[in-house]
């Protein structure tokens, strides 16, 4: 199963990707997490990406396409994968097609902009493993500590209110057209994001089966 999760920043793609990853035993690949890891390690890629990310802008297509190409070539992707945060532009989707990768299903998680603002401003992520939490909706068992790996949970720089606005703008402008792109292939399923993570998960798993 080769799967794409679409949706606005903070729609819950990462959270659902983790669930599907456990459920289907295929890796969840987040370009955002890969870039943040590069940033933390001070690599050339990280340096290139930093200014875009901090401003809520997209990293240039060539850069993320190269990242995905390298990642999808690894052994653990051969039985399938979940893409979270890629593609984010039509040229990125075209690049995926040009690699000869067949996508089985695209799940678009829909959440209204106002709800996104609330969610992102309360989001915390693990510095070490990238797991995602929310101070109100999905707190870690111990404040500031990741349930999964014991790492430190922090607020992302791009989760500040002005940057959230810019990211939503970028989403509507550049990423939302992908709905039409995948609608045409008949692979698109829409899931209405629910307030409760578990409810969204149930709908997402149903969309996978149908
Ligand atoms: P979110 O979905 O919450 O916005 P991500 O972790 O997916 O967060 O992405 C964070 C940032 O990383 C984006 O705002 C962008 O700068 C960069 N990024 C991630 N994936 C891509 C992509 N496919 N194309 C361009 N930039 C990307
Ligand atoms: Zn962790």
Ligand 1 atom closest to residue 35's alpha carbon, by position in its atom list: 12
Ligand 1 atom closest to residue 57's alpha carbon, by position in its atom list: 16
Per-residue confidence (pLDDT) for residue 195, from 0 to 100? 86
CA of 125 to the centre of ligand 2 (A): 8
Residues marked active site are found at: 13, 88, 123, 156, 167
Per-residue confidence (pLDDT) for residue 3, from 0 to 100? 97
Ligand 1 pocket by Cβ (under 6 Å):
9-10, 30-32, 35, 52-53, 56-59, 64, 85-86, 88, 92, 158, 167
Q: What is the pTM of this model?
A: 0.89
Task: Order across the sheet with 81-84: list the strands.
Answer: 28-30, 81-84, 2-7, 105-110, 188-192
Quote the CA–CA distance of 134 and 93 in Å, as a whole number: 30
User: pLDDT digit string (tens) for 92-151?
Assistant: 999 999 999 999 999 999 999 999 999 999 999 999 998 889 999 889 999 999 999 999
Q: Are strands 2-7 and 105-110 parallel, antiparallel or unpaired?
A: parallel
User: pLDDT digit string (tens) for 160-206?
Assistant: 888 999 999 999 999 999 999 999 999 999 999 998 889 999 999 99
User: SS3 breakdown of the chain: % helix, strand, coil, rounded to 5?
Assistant: 50, 20, 35
CA of 100 to the centre of ligand 2 (A): 33
């Amino acid at each position: 199963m080769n799967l794409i999760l679409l949706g606005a920043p903070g729609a819950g793609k990462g959270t659902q990707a983790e669930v599907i990853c456990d459920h289907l035993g295929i890796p969840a690949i987040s370009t955002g997490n890969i870039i943040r890891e590069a940033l933390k390690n001070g690599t050339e890629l990280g340096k290139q990406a930093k200014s875009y990310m901090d401003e809520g802008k997209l990293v240039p297509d060539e850069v993320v396409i190269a990242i995905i190409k390298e990642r999808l070539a690894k052994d653990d992707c051969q039985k399938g994968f979940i893409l979270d945060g890629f593609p984010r532009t039509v040229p990125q989707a075209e690049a995926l097609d040009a690699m000869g990768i067949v996508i089985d299903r695209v799940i678009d998680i829909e959440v209204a902009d106002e709800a996104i603002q609330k969610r992102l401003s309360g989001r915390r992520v693990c510095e070490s493993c990238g797991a995602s939490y929310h101070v109100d909706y999905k707190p870690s068992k111990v404040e500031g500590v990741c349930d999964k790996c014991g790492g430190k949970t922090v607020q992302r720089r791009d989760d500040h209110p002005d940057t959230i606005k810019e990211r939503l703008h970028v989403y509507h402008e550049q990423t939302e057209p992908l709905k039409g792109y995948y609608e045409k292939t008949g692979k698109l399923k829409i899931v209405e994001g629910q307030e409760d993570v578990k409810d969204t998960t149930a709908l997402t798993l149903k969309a996978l089966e149908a």
